[in-house]
Structure 1
Amino acid sequence: MRMDRQHPQHDQQSPLRKLRQACCKSAATAALVLATLLACLFATTSALSPAADACEPGGDLQALLQRRGAHMSHQDYARSDADMEPNPPQWPPSVYIFSPEMENISCTVQALFTQLGPLATGKFSSLRVALLFKPGNYSLDVPVGFYTQVLGLGESPEEVTFTGSRGVYGPSEADNVNFNTFWKAVENVANRPTSQRTTWSVSQAAPMRRVKVHGDLAFGEPGKDGPSKGSGGFVANLEVTGTVDLVRQQQWLIRSCKVQSTTYFDSPPRAVNFVYVGTEGAPAETSCTNSMQDPVSPHPQNLLVEKPPVLLEKPYITVDAMGKFNLAIPRPIWGRSGPGWDESDLIGFEHVFVATDSMAASAINAKLAAGRHVVLSPGIYQLSEPLRLGFNESAGGQVLLGLGMATLVPTNGTAVIEVGPSCGVRVAGVLLQAGAVKSPSLLRWEPNSCQGDNPSLLADVFARVGGPDTEVVSADVMIEVGGNHVVLDNVWAWRADCCQLGCGTCVERYCKHGVVVNGANVVSYGLFSEHCQEDLTVWNGENGMSFFYQSEMDSFARQPWDHTPHYGENGVSGYRVNAHTHIAVGIGVYAYFVEPGNVVKAGTVIVDEASTELTCPFAWNLNSAWYNNSESGIERAVRIEHAHILKF
């Protein structure tokens, strides 16, 4: 049922009115609170159901979401490609659309956060949701849980403004340690909390984009043992009127932002790498981190890149005064510093197909083959074949945009996404997950002959091998980029070290490489690759540029089930460049080896013939068990002969 449908009228004594009133008051018991929140969720979202059904207590959130969809019809999706798609589209139950005049928005938000907020129930939940807010002011707080995306539908961020005590925020975990806080997002809103402090306590795969922050922005929260710890992170295209507080984050990329000042917790320091690309108000540049000499409390390096060579911002969704939806596709920008919010082309949803996870891959591919842009609504897609875009030469600039961490899983050992030779393609907002049948790669971008005036994009694309699975899963490569002039903007490839059963207790999962770049002139802003069994990232394409890289080597190397008996001595690395020309800024390779014998010669490896510029590459050994001996760890930051190393 559409969230923007008018609510039925009820008298003051109706059960539904009493339920709504109770939803905003404290309840006597935790069970009553949960039942009330769930009932309030259904009351807000279903105008056609009788009040008795809406007030029915008990049940779980998944069941209520299914009931939301009971009134849905997918007949519009069966239209032929010769017809236009419906606008407004018929959104599935996993998409919530709010407008300022609606009642009980807080109840719905809190009901979702009750399930998706806590680490125990949220981290590997099967729920996926997107919260879409129409233009206007919202005097409420919106905590963002796992697999939750908050999106403003205005043409500029300030058209959707939150003015609660905290507004939109990402709270810390219960223990104030956020090393496992992933897979959430907020985009295209303004946050004006009365507290004057916006909190975004996250690690990887939790982007904040296209946001106006009034006051301070903090990547953590206070605690009795000091501020939050985290392993972030990525923000882009932000304006912050106050201070950006990095608290106890280990590393972060801040791209195309405008800030007043920055600070971090330094008592003692335990941070290594902050990279600012095209950011106005960035702090002064520092010397390189001393993580090799002082792994316990290294000082961070602040690295500045005045202007990014090319920008291609992530597509987003808007709605106009008539209720018509548009896909906004930002145009390429060269040499811009600071944020930019008015550089997009609008495509009506008559030309955009909204897919759901109940559809067959062949049905979605038929729309892609016809040249449609495709929006993947939140859900888990079991795909018998890859989603294929960029193969229709007459439909250049095709977009595949996921909402609510739409998750793609192969069922037949194929990729889940294949990109063809067309130029200007955008793939964004998806989570790629390995299946039980080994895939050569989860995302495969084929070679092309594209030029620099029409770049392509991978934005907020995350991949994982293992994690939620109870069976063996595998992929040789998570993300393989063969196309030229592709921009990677916040990409994380993760072979799971913490799974359903806890950290270090995962079922077997196999992956050789996180990212392989074969295309020329590929530019990366915020690349993360972790725990694979061979080189974490392999960069073969010429003239590549990489701004900020965070990685962690295979923590469980040499354990019998890991099948890595010669790890270290085989020359494995965290970042291998086989190209002759390459530029990289802030390249970090970490290691937390559990077993002895894992002596890695260098975190970053460059071929002898390379003409390469590296700014502050570093290695960081995290397991104190090996600090006083040489039984395991990374020996040096770089193994190289002829490259040009800057500030190293």
Structure 2
Amino acid sequence: MSTKVIPVFTALMFMLTPGSFATSYSPYKKQQENKIENKIVYNKKKHSVTLSWSAFGSSGNYVITRGGSRLASDFVPVGSTSRLTFTDNKPNADKYENYYKITRNDITIIVSLEKQIFGDNMYFYDRKYEKAETPRNEMNSHFSSIGQGGPNGEWTTKRQAYYFKANVNGQTYDSGGSGSASSAEANSIELGFYSHIGGLGKIPADVKLGAIFTRPHLSGGANATCTFWRSIENVTVMRDFSWTVSQSTSARRMLIESTSKYISDIGSSNFWGSGGFIADACYTSSRPNWGGQQQWYTRNTVFPSGSGAMGGSYNMVWQGCVNPPQADNINSPIPATPIIREKPFLFIDDDGEYKVFVPAWQKDRVGPSWSTTDMGKGKVQDLLTNWYIAKEGDTDVEINKALKAGKNVFFTPGHYSLNAPIQVNRKDAILLGAGIASVTLEPTEKNTWGCIYADDKDGIVIAGLLMDSFNSTTYQVRVGNEEANADHAANPILLTDITCRVGGVQSKNIQIQASMQINSNNVVGDHFWLWRADHGSQRGGNARWVRDRCKNGLIVTGDDVTLYALFAEHYQEYEVLWLGERGRTYFLQNEPPYDAPNQASWSSQGGRVDGYAAFKVANTVKEHHSIGMGSYAVFTGTDGNVNKKNGFEIPNSPNVTLEKMCITRFAGPGNIQNVINGIGGSTATGVNRVPSYNNGAGTQPYDEEFRLPNRESYPAYIIMDK
């Protein structure tokens, strides 16, 4: 008789006592009424595990077997009972290495502490109990069966994270293979949309994987320009690392021991992508190849010796790297990263407990934050003590309650509906998503404010989240209120691996004022994709200009704001509007809106200037410095007569400088007519560059009064603490 495994609903809250882990139930949601309730309690004093469950099956005893992991090669019998509870008095020594199958008739449920803590969308692998190929087989089955790899995967609602426990006794998760990661012989792990790989060791060398491949779904696999929304961190890749991606993809804290490439090798021609981001990494054997990638940002990474180019077409920025390419028109090596705090991450500590490592702030750093023996500078927080673990189905009520109680929030993969913004209103609070874009925050019709409001407090961290908009809101993310003026220089605010998406997925008309507004001082942003969708699951063409409305991708009013790896695209007015002093941006990727219907509907500065600059520094700003800026014309949805006068606009001021600017045209009849302030040439003649502009010969833009979002009132139950 075949046995079917039923997904188990566990929406449970941990209550810690000196002798045990205990759990209590939250109410069923309507769509989960047919799932089987269960809970698991670990008694530390007795070292026993007690299971309980609701009735299922028609007759006979419940048979209980135990394995060391969810996909363990062996599950051993531990008992049988007619009751709805069972106690295992001799479990495995590590409480997390006890996975129970409870079977009656042809139904089996799986119960474990990890499943109870983290829910159904986090998958844990343990080489101690599983074959090397087991994780790869499961992940690749997900890739092929639920649309993660195909064109429908781009808009799937499925979210998932795959976590690998540290290798033991010299074992690895590499089942062997050869050749390029794209080949069948490589036995690669294929990582799809809205997916994350995380190592649970202290350092990348603790978790060793084989080959990794992100398979593009366009042009037969050659075109990676829509290979979005996936991430990998804190692992070693032993064989080919084929990270063929574009925006909203993050590779962090990596040890790469073999070949690596960032463009597809499927087929014979037209290999291109629009990525990407790598940080805090080390390559040990060969210099990687970025091939036909349009642009890329790489930070604090070590490459093998050499200084030759490593591919890339227009704008490649290498910051705080060891052995980067030499400077030329395309490559911009920047010696150090002036201020950075790496993204926090989940790991298992020496005591066997789940912890979160929160890296320390560092200045003028070169190379990675970790070594082969040391996880780096920072603090360790106990997950079950210091954090609230949010699971799909939680709303702003549960999340804001946890923040108010002093907890940080770890978001497991899934969709989170918000009737009001998540309110981050205390010093050093952390929101951490399990992988970039595997966690999606979605305002409801009741929420006209946005996804996240962070108050003007020291040390806030917001990381690894996708903000989506099915309804109109003022913002998607706002940092600091309109009067924010605190000095956070000693403990800045960090935003890292943030995606804001406007449009593409909803059928009704929406209006967002700005995807993100930063009002606080001393904010550091480390990898954003701010995207008014140029395509999606809904009808495009003329409908998109009215249906998917958003003026600005980013507005900065705070002083001393530093951004690394800023991707901002397709907004209807200034895509980045900078009003604060002493701002810095290292790398910008931009495409203007594809779909401005005509020039009259898309003109700035009182209708006197065609289009809107991608990056606008207001005339009132006295000091600013940014480097590595690319804007690319794709006017494919217009009447054929839409142009943009300037890629970039800044005041003619002695302390305002932009360096390494590039414009070109990818598609459509319209052009960007100048690089900056009326000079530099038009995309009609191909690629044009301006190495540096500072108080130059160009025409200063007209003075403007910018219409910023008005001060909002807040829902009564989440009034901001002042």
Measure how far apart 1:231 and its partner are. 0.3
Which amino acid is the alignment partner of residue 371 of structure 1?
Answer: G
**Aligned match of 2:553:** 514
Give the one of 258, 279, 282 matched to 1:236.
279
Give the one of 165, 171, 194 matched to 1:147.
194
Q: Does 1:282 align with 2:334?
A: no
Aligned partners of 1:374 and 1:577: how far apart in 2? 35
* Greater Rg by CA: 2
**Aligned match of 2:688:** none
Measure how far apart 1:125 and its partner are. 0.6
Alpha carbons of structure 1 residues 615 and 563: separation in structure 2 relative to 1, 3 Å: closer
**Aligned match of 1:340:** 369
Aligned partners of 1:556 and 1:538: how far apart in 2? 21
Alpha carbons of structure 1 residues 351 and 506: separation in structure 2 relative to 1, 3 Å: farther
Q: Does 1:122 align with 2:122?
A: no
Contact 1:610–1:643 (CA under 8 A) maintained in structure 2: no
Aligned partners of 1:172 and 1:323: how far apart in 2? 38
Aligned partners of 2:271 and 2:531: how far apart in 1? 22
Contact 1:221–1:227 (CA under 8 A) maintained in structure 2: no
In the TM superposition, what are the counterparts of 1:101-116 in structure 2 within 5 Å?
101-103=128-130, 104-114=134-144, 115-116=146-147
In the TM superposition, what are the counterparts of 1:188-227 in structure 2 within 5 Å?
188-193=234-239, 197-226=240-269
**Aligned match of 1:360:** 395
Q: Does 1:376 align with 2:411?
A: yes
SS of match in other structure, 1:450: coil
Measure how far apart 1:565 and its partner are. 7.5
Contact 1:88–1:323 (CA under 8 A) maintained in structure 2: no
Aligned partners of 1:549 and 1:607: how far apart in 2? 19
Q: Does 1:418 align with 2:453?
A: yes
Q: Residues 130-159 of structure 1: CA distance to partner in whole angstroms, max 9, x if unpaired?
A: 111111121244211000000001111111
Aligned partners of 1:217 and 1:120: how far apart in 2? 25
Measure how far apart 1:559 and its partner are. 5.6
Alpha carbons of structure 1 residues 534 and 471: separation in structure 2 relative to 1, 3 Å: same
Aligned partners of 1:577 and 1:399: how far apart in 2? 30
TM-score, structure 1 as length reference: 0.80
Give the one of 664, 671, 694 matched to 1:644.
694
Give the one of 454, 457, 465 matched to 2:491.
454
Measure how far apart 1:452 and its partner are. 1.9
Aligned partners of 2:280 and 2:592: how far apart in 1? 30
Which amino acid is the alignment partner of residue 358 of structure 2?
Answer: I
Alpha carbons of structure 1 residues 111 and 503: separation in structure 2 relative to 1, 3 Å: farther
Measure how far apart 1:48 and its partner are. 2.9
**Aligned match of 1:316:** 345
In the TM superposition, what are the counterparts of 1:468-487 in structure 2 within 5 Å?
468-487=505-524
* 99-108 or 426-435: bigger deviation: 99-108
Measure how far apart 1:571 and its partner are. 5.2
Measure how far apart 1:321 and its partner are. 4.1
Give the one of 593, 601, 605 matched to 2:649.
605
**Aligned match of 2:617:** 577
Aligned partners of 1:346 and 1:304: how far apart in 2? 33
Q: Percent identity?
A: 25
Q: Does 1:258 align with 2:302?
A: yes
Equivalent pairs counted in the alignment come to 556
Higher RCO (C-alpha under 8 Å, 6+ residues apart): 1
Q: Does 1:531 align with 2:570?
A: yes
Q: Does 1:52 align with 2:106?
A: yes
Which amino acid is the alignment partner of residue 119 of structure 1?
Answer: G
Contact 1:568–1:601 (CA under 8 A) maintained in structure 2: no
Contact 1:442–1:479 (CA under 8 A) maintained in structure 2: yes
* 577-586 or 144-153: bigger deviation: 577-586
Aligned partners of 1:234 and 1:646: how far apart in 2? 32
Q: Residues 389-415 of structure 1: CA distance to partner in whole angstroms, max 9, x if unpaired?
A: 1x23xxx22110011420011112221
Contact 1:577–1:605 (CA under 8 A) maintained in structure 2: yes
Alpha carbons of structure 1 residues 514 and 271: separation in structure 2 relative to 1, 3 Å: same
SS of match in other structure, 2:117: coil
Contact 1:87–1:325 (CA under 8 A) maintained in structure 2: no
Measure how far apart 1:322 and its partner are. 3.9
Q: Does 1:248 align with 2:281?
A: no
Aligned partners of 1:322 and 1:487: how far apart in 2? 33
Contact 1:615–1:645 (CA under 8 A) maintained in structure 2: no
Which amino acid is the alignment partner of residue 592 of structure 1?
Answer: V
Alpha carbons of structure 1 residues 537 and 360: separation in structure 2 relative to 1, 3 Å: same
Measure how far apart 1:282 and its partner are. 0.3
**Aligned match of 2:33:** none
What value does the CA root-mean-square deviation take over the aligned residues?
3.0
Aligned partners of 2:246 and 2:566: how far apart in 1? 13
Q: Residues 180-237 of structure 1: CA distance to partner in whole angstroms, max 9, x if unpaired?
A: 01000000001102xxx21000001111000000022200232333363100011000
Q: Does 1:94 align with 2:121?
A: yes
Measure how far apart 1:371 and its partner are. 1.7
Alpha carbons of structure 1 residues 49 and 8: separation in structure 2 relative to 1, 3 Å: farther
Aligned partners of 1:323 and 1:278: how far apart in 2? 34
Measure how far apart 1:368 and its partner are. 0.6
Which amino acid is the alignment partner of residue 155 of structure 1?
Answer: K
Aligned partners of 1:645 and 1:371: how far apart in 2? 48
Measure how far apart 1:6 and its partner are. 7.9
* 1-10 or 375-384: bigger deviation: 1-10
Which amino acid is the alignment partner of residue 118 of structure 2?
Answer: W
Q: Residues 258-316 of structure 1: CA distance to partner in whole angstroms, max 9, x if unpaired?
A: 012577787xxx81100110110101101x3xxxxxxxxxxxx1111101111111110
Contact 2:393–2:416 (CA under 8 A) maintained in structure 1: yes
SS of match in other structure, 1:468: coil
Alpha carbons of structure 1 residues 177 and 88: separation in structure 2 relative to 1, 3 Å: closer
Alpha carbons of structure 1 residues 433 and 203: separation in structure 2 relative to 1, 3 Å: same
Alpha carbons of structure 1 residues 588 and 475: separation in structure 2 relative to 1, 3 Å: same
Alpha carbons of structure 1 residues 602 and 328: separation in structure 2 relative to 1, 3 Å: same
Alpha carbons of structure 1 residues 244 and 8: separation in structure 2 relative to 1, 3 Å: closer
Alpha carbons of structure 1 residues 570 and 647: separation in structure 2 relative to 1, 3 Å: closer
SS of match in other structure, 1:334: strand
Contact 2:408–2:431 (CA under 8 A) maintained in structure 1: yes
In the TM superposition, what are the counterparts of 1:556-571 in structure 2 within 5 Å?
556-558=595-597, 564=602, 569=609
Which amino acid is the alignment partner of residue 544 of structure 1?
Answer: G
In the TM superposition, what are the counterparts of 1:398-437 in structure 2 within 5 Å?
398-404=429-435, 405-411=438-444, 412-436=447-471
